[in-house]
Each structure stands twice: as C-alpha cells, then as structure tokens.
Amino acid sequence: MTDNDGEADLEARLVEQERFEPPAGFVEQANVADESIYEEFEENWPHAWTRAADMLDWDSEYSQVLDDSEGPFYEWFADGTLNASYNCVDRHVENGDKNRAAIQWEGEYGETRTYTYQDLYREVNEFAAALRDLGVEEDDVVTLYMPMVPELPIAMLACARIGAPHSVVFAGFSADALATRMNAADSRYLITCDGYYRRGDPLDHLQKANDGLGGVDHGVDATVVVDRLGEDGFGHDLKGNQHDWDALLAEHTGARVDPVERSAEDMLFLMYTSGTTGQPKGVKHTTGGYLAYTTWTSHAVLDLEPEDTYWCSADIGWITGHSYIVYGPLSLGTTTVMYEGTPDFPERDRLWELVEKYAVDVFYTAPTAIRAFMKWGSEFPERHDLSSLRLLGTVGEPINPRAWKWYYKHIGDEACPIVDTWWQTETGGMMVTTLPGINTMKPGSAGPPLPGIDARVVDASGEEVDAGRAGYLTVDRPWPGMLRTLYQNDERFVNEYWQEYSDPDADEWVYFPEDGAKIDEDGYITILGRVDDVINVSGHRLGTMEIESAIVGVEGVAEAAVVGGDHEVTGEAVYAYVILEDGYEGTDEMQDAIIEGVNEAIGPIAKPEKVIFTPELPKTRSGKIMRRLLEEIANGEELGDTTTLRNPEIVEDIQVKVSD
Ligand code: PRX
C-alpha cells in the first residue's frame, strides 16, 4: 500500500481537521478532567508535587518537597524513605489485589505467562534473596542485559528491593556496548538470558553477553542466565560464576527479603543514553522523585486504573519501558502487557490480535510503528475487535498529522483520545502532552506542558519566541522525575544540560533538552527534533559520534561523518559519508565491513541505511565538517549557504553519489 492509498483511506473530513476534542465518553471517566489542575500547580508550586508523592507509600514521610539550595543538583522529597519494589508489588498484595494480573507476557509464538501480583511478589523476593547470596549489596550496580522476558522486570524489582541500582542494557545492543556500559558503571554483576526469538528464529544472546564480559576491565563477581530457549538453545555451558536463573530460584523457594528502606534521593537505576560525544551518558534516576513522577503521569496522562490492561509496545531496554511498562503501571497496580516479538510476525496483525485477546484498554507506541502499520494497510487492524481501547499514546519522535489521524481512525475508531508525549531518558517521564480528559488535540503538536512543567520555546539568547516561530525547547523549573546527575560525572551533567540558558551567578538554572520546537498561540508545543548530534531512528536515540567512531574503527576507513536523513517509516535513517585510506576502494565488501563494524560496536539499530564513499567531506575553512549540508544532501533538499566551505566543489560530487 502506498502513502497515497493511506491518504485515500482517511476521509477528507479527517485529513483537513486540525483540532479534535476529547471524546465525551472518555472525559466522563477520566482520572483528571478538571482543568483547574494547571492553576493549582501554578499557584502551589512546588508544594503541588505532593500530589504525585502522595500516590506512593512512604516508610517515613518527607518534610520538604524540593530542596533547590544547590541547583542544578535539585533534591525532591529528600528526607523521605521508601522502597520502589514495595510500592510496585507488596502494597497491592496487601491491599487485596494479590490475584490481579501484574504482568501478562506473550512470547513470539503465542506462549503466554501470567504473573499475578502474588506471583510477582514471590519471584521478586526469591530473586532478591538470590542476588544477596551472590554477594550483591546495597548500591552495587547490577547490569541487566535481557530481552522482553518477564524475568527482566522481576530482576529490576528485585534489585530495587535490596537497594541495588540496575543498569539495563538494551538486548539489541552489541557485546561492545555491553562492555562499555559495565565498565562505565563499574558493575560486577550481570543478569542475562540464553536467547530469545525474533521472526521465528532463536537468537544466541548468551554468546554476545559472554563476548561483552570479555571486554569488562574489572572482575565480574556473578552472572545469572535465564533459560528462555530450552531445547532451541545454543548449548553454551555455564562457566564458573555463571548461574542458572531457575536453579537459583529453586534454591530460594519461599525466601522473603524485607524491602530496604531507601532515601528518596537514593539511586533507583542508571540508564545509558547517547549524547554528542562517543561516550554514552549514565543518566541517574532516584527512588522517590522518579517513582512519584512516573506514577503520577501514568495516572494523569495514560489514565491508568488498577482494573486496566495496559500495553506499551516499547522495549524495557529503553526509558519508555522502564517508566511506562514497569514502574508507573505497576506502582498503580495495573496489568501491564509484555510482548517478546515484532509487530509483523507471524503476520502483520500481531499487535491487534493481542489487543483483542487481552482486551487492552490503553495502548502506547511509537510513531515509527504507526507509520509502518499505515503502510501495511488498515485491513490488518480491521481483522480484530479493538473496541476495548479507551486511550492511545505515542512517544519517541515527532508524529506527522497523517499518521496521527490514521491511528485515531483505524486503531481508535475516533473514540479514543491520543496523547503525543514528549519526554526523554533524562526527564524520567512525560513532560509535554495534552491531558486526555481536558485538552483539545492538535495532530502533530504534542500539546501544552504538563501541569507544573515550565517548558518554553526560546531563541538563541533565551528570549521566548513568538507563536509560530521555531526556537529551542527549555524547561525553567525542576520536576521530580528529572535526572539528578550523570553517573560519577557532575561536571558533564552541568555542561550537557545546564550551560546554554542558565545564569549560575544569579542561581538561575534552565534545563536544555537539545530539542528544537515551536509554540502556537494556545501554548501548544510542536517538537522539531534534536539540535545536537543525536539522531532518532525508529524512536531510538543514537549518537552520530558513536557511529562515526565505529566506522573509523573499520580497516581502511580514514574519516567518517554520520547524519540523520529523513525516512518514511523510521523517521530518520543513518547516512554515513566515508573517506577511505589510500589503496582502499568503495566496494560492496567495504560497505559490508562498515555495516558490520557498526553492528559490532553498537548493534543492528545503528546500521547505516546508506554508505556514501567520497574523497573529501565538505568542511568549513576552520576544518569543521558541515553536517547541515550533509543532512540536506541526504534529504535531497535544496542546499543552504555553501560560501563558507573551503572545498565547495565536493558538494556536487557527493550529491550525485547519494542520488545513485
Ligand atoms: O528528540 C526528542 C524525541 O526523543 C528524544 C529523547 O529520546 P530518548 O531519551 O531516547 O527518549 C525517548 C522516549 C521518551 C527527545 O529529545 N522525542 C521523544 N518524544 C517525542 C520526541 N520528539 C517528538 N515528539 C515526541 N512526542
């Protein structure tokens, strides 16, 4: 199906409509439907944030909401104590909900597992006891390199229970990426998996994990391996300090571990994300502020109720999965769905089959997925009864109005509001989005900042721009879910996020998320994309420097420049411009070697869509690569100013190669 068919499929009425009101049926039951909430946060800031904190069970109450005495090192609810695992598990068992499904897991082949809150309680306790016996102590960082198996959230909650921060590394990342993250976090424990299924084939994950372990500089005390593949496994023997998950649980049957009382500001987890340099950033999230924030936004934006079956189709290896598959929904006592496989296996209706099967109430996905569904055609959702859906969400990249409307019509049947939620690994939770029971929706625009969030669009000097003008997104006041620092690197934290628009002498701190944006007359913010050297492929954030250093590591490559070019489905795609050393040629083999190099250093998600061999890169007179120009070339756009180039003649040559 082509794009035009997609358009024809949407009635003209929808194509032209620019505003959509929340459906009355939704508003009637919405968790948050009174617009005075915006004012309440404004008037009672920061005290209004107790609303979020009060959704949690605290071991000891906090006496101060926000400590801003050492900005930008803010502290929230700092003298309160609590445990995230207790809040996500025990309290629901104690409140009489022990038999409600906590995790509804579906394997690629339709194998299912349901964990009630009682089941979750049992396994989290047993695994927490096992971790302790392996020597894990409070504040030890435990690395989790696991695909979408239930043992992943169980391990996260077990770590939280004993106060050991987890660092989840996306299973699609390479062995090298695992080693880099374990080294950076000085992590001596690894929980992993023998493998998993992808489009019908078992994948050997343990080999990658073992290779990664080989690159860890310090000693690794223990590895735990989940047996996912059974007889389909690759026959690796577990070595000296490697333990089988099931055997460990069996040894700890019935064990109970008291949840450790953690200070609100104690680290709950680390999450490595890409930035401008080659070295990933270890974003630190805390127990109190993060959990309060994800719980509150799951309630207010995702409208979750304990009775709901909720499905976020992200991978737990990214922040979306942490906040909105695991912590937010489980803290609220909701049933969260986890799916191991891809949307098009065995058929392109797989997700809709699951929505029908589990009668999913709320569904949260990425624009990339929606663009793919749209391309595949509406006959796939039409095969299923999707009437259980009440609310739809998107995250991770800008959604174009056409995809928004397709989602609204073909998945939501024009009866579900859509929340287009802007946020980041660093923000912990949603920041800019409509509240589904209150605000008018405008396709393509995320919406106003959430209550209590002071997001603005400013120009280079920090002045707010007029409606309709493009500028930079900033956040002027702190919020509970914000990152507290970059792991063991306060200086980089300040430099990365608090440089551009802050006035340290006046103790005025402004957070800069590195996104471009514009704002309209109603205060709705449209996100225009990253303004740093980060690209967004299928909602996955990749650093161009990381990819470039992978390419330069390939034998025969002299220099590389990577940019994001527009892509119909994935939003952006990796375009790699490569200069070879003398004696090497831009052959197919060379291209394969480059792709394999990226695969090894990062993983298949970072694979270049196009490799362009060139004798030179366009550089300014001061020797800087002109990336803007390379982006324009990748997109086949008209070129901007090239007069500052020292080698303008190369541009045409590259243009020809890209269009080949
Ligand atoms: O550029 C923005 C884009 O994703 C970036 C954050 O990526 P990451 O930390 O991996 O977190 C993704 C999931 C929260 C942002 O800087 N982004 C995220 N949500 C949106 C978005 N761009 C446009 N619209 C969104 N709703």
Each residue of 325-354: pLDDT tens digit?
A: 999 999 999 999 999 999 999 999 999 999
Question: Pocket of ligand 1, candidates 364, 407, 424, 457: which has the most ligand atoms within 8 Å of its Cβ, to mutate?
Answer: 424
Residues 459 and 498 in one domain: yes
Asked which of 502, 530, 558 is the last residue of a domain, the reply is 530
Residues 502 and 483 in one domain: yes
Asked which of 260, 275, 299 is the last residue of a domain, the reply is 260
Does residue 330 lie in a domain region?
Answer: no
- Map 166-191 to HEC letters: EEECCCCCCHHHHHHHHHHCCCCEEE
Does residue 386 lie in a domain region?
Answer: no
Task: Report how far ligand 1's centroid is from the alpha carbon of 510 (Å).
Answer: 19
Phi, psi dihedrals of residue 506, rounded to the nearest 5°: -90, 5
Q: Whose CA is nearest to atom 8 of ligand 1?
A: 424
User: Is residue 282 classed exposed, middle or buried when 0-12, 13-18 and 19+ CB atoms within 10 A define those classes?
Assistant: buried
Question: Pocket of ligand 1, candidates 422, 486, 525, 540: which has the most ligand atoms within 8 Å of its Cβ, to mutate?
Answer: 422
Number of the ligand 1 atom closest to the C-alpha atom of 430? 14
Number of the ligand 1 atom closest to the C-alpha atom of 399? 24
Give the span between the Cα atoms of 551 and 558, in whole angstroms. 9
Residues 518 and 654 in one domain: no
Specify the pairing of strand 81-82 against strand 262-263. antiparallel
Residues 504 and 553 in one domain: no
Q: Which residues line ligand 1 (CB under 6 A)?
A: 273, 319-320, 395-398, 420-425, 446, 513, 515, 527, 529-530, 536, 541
Q: Whose CA is nearest to atom 11 of ligand 1?
A: 424
Strand partners, 515: 530
Task: Report how far ligand 1's centroid is from the alpha carbon of 555 (Å).
Answer: 34
Q: Where are the alpha helices (DSSP H) in 528-626?
A: 544-552, 588-601
Residues 604 and 501 in one domain: no
Number of the ligand 1 atom closest to the C-alpha atom of 530? 1
At 49 the three-state DSSP class reads helix
- Residues counted in the chain: 660
Q: What confidence score (pLDDT) does residue 659 get?
A: 84
Does residue 63 lie in a domain region?
Answer: no
At 426 the three-state DSSP class reads coil
DSSP state of 231: G
Q: Whose CA is nearest to atom 6 of ligand 1?
A: 424
Question: Pocket of ligand 1, candidates 170, 425, 434, 536: which has the most ligand atoms within 8 Å of its Cβ, to mutate?
Answer: 536
Task: Report how far ligand 1's centroid is from the alpha carbon of 263 (Å).
Answer: 29
At 143 the three-state DSSP class reads strand
Give the span between the Cα atoms of 56 and 406, in whole angstroms. 37
Question: Pocket of ligand 1, candidates 482, 515, 524: which has the most ligand atoms within 8 Å of its Cβ, to mutate?
Answer: 515
The CATH number of the domain holding residue 643 is 3.30.300.30
Strand partners, 391: 362
Q: What confidence score (pLDDT) does residue 2 get?
A: 46
The string of pLDDT tens digits covering residues 17-48 is 999 999 999 999 999 999 999 999 999 999 99
Does residue 71 lie in a domain region?
Answer: no
Q: Whose CA is nearest to atom 12 of ligand 1?
A: 396
Task: Report how far ligand 1's centroid is from the alpha carbon of 424 (Å).
Answer: 5
Does residue 172 lie in a domain region?
Answer: yes
Asked which of 468, 495, 530 is the last residue of a domain, the reply is 530
Which pTM does this prediction carry?
0.95
Number of the ligand 1 atom closest to the C-alpha atom of 432? 26
Q: What confidence score (pLDDT) does residue 1 get?
A: 42
Calculate ∠ Cα 141-142-146, nearest 5°.
145
What average pLDDT does the chain have? Answer: 96
Q: Which stretches of the chain score pLDDT less than 70?
A: 1-7
Task: Report how far ligand 1's centroid is from the alpha carbon of 450 (Å).
Answer: 16
Task: Count up the domains in the chain and report the number.
Answer: 3
Task: Report how far ligand 1's centroid is from the alpha carbon of 212 (Å).
Answer: 28
Does residue 235 lie in a domain region?
Answer: yes
Q: What confidence score (pLDDT) does residue 624 get?
A: 86
Does residue 413 lie in a domain region?
Answer: no
Q: Whose CA is nearest to atom 21 of ligand 1?
A: 397
The CATH number of the domain holding residue 478 is 2.30.38.10
Q: Which two tokens stand for residue 336?
A: 């969260």
Residues 654 and 572 in one domain: yes
| Structural domain boundaries, residue 526 | 455-530
Question: Pocket of ligand 1, candidates 450, 541, 570, 605: which has the most ligand atoms within 8 Å of its Cβ, to mutate?
Answer: 541
Task: Report how far ligand 1's centroid is from the alpha carbon of 13 (Å).
Answer: 30
Residues 125 and 247 in one domain: yes
- Give the H or E element holding residue 608: none
Strand partners, 193: 226
Q: CB-based contacts of 239: which residues, under 8 Å, 6+ apart?
A: none
Give the span between the Cα atoms of 406 and 377, in whole angstroms. 10
The CATH number of the domain holding residue 231 is 3.40.50.980
Inter-residue contact 332 to 304 (CB < 8 Å): yes
The string of pLDDT tens digits covering residues 126-146 is 999 999 999 999 999 999 999
Q: What confidence score (pLDDT) does residue 255 get?
A: 98
At 125 the three-state DSSP class reads helix
At 554 the three-state DSSP class reads coil
Residues 625 and 516 in one domain: no
Rg (CA), the chain: 24
Residues 242 and 117 in one domain: yes
Task: Report how far ligand 1's centroid is from the alpha carbon of 395 (Å).
Answer: 7
Residues 654 and 507 in one domain: no
How far does Cα 453 stand from its chain's mean position?
20
Task: Report how far ligand 1's centroid is from the alpha carbon of 124 (Å).
Answer: 31
Of the candidates 338, 339, 337, 334, the one whose C-alpha atom is nearest the C-alpha of residue 303 is 334
**Number of Cβ atoms within 10 Å of the Cβ of 203:** 21
Number of the ligand 1 atom closest to the C-alpha atom of 394? 26
Number of the ligand 1 atom closest to the C-alpha atom of 529? 1
Task: Report how far ligand 1's centroid is from the alpha carbon of 398 (Å).
Answer: 8
**Number of Cβ atoms within 10 Å of the Cβ of 599:** 16
Q: CB-based contacts of 522: which residues, under 8 Å, 6+ apart?
A: 440, 448
Q: Is the ipTM reported for this complex over the cut 0.90?
A: yes
Residues 508 and 608 in one domain: no
Residues 476 and 545 in one domain: no
Q: Whose CA is nearest to atom 4 of ligand 1?
A: 396
Give the span between the Cα atoms of 406 and 60, in whole angstroms. 48
Task: Report how far ligand 1's centroid is from the alpha carbon of 446 (Å).
Answer: 11
Task: Report how far ligand 1's centroid is from the alpha carbon of 397 (Å).
Answer: 5
Q: Whose CA is nearest to atom 15 of ligand 1?
A: 424
Q: What confidence score (pLDDT) does residue 642 get?
A: 85
Does residue 608 lie in a domain region?
Answer: yes
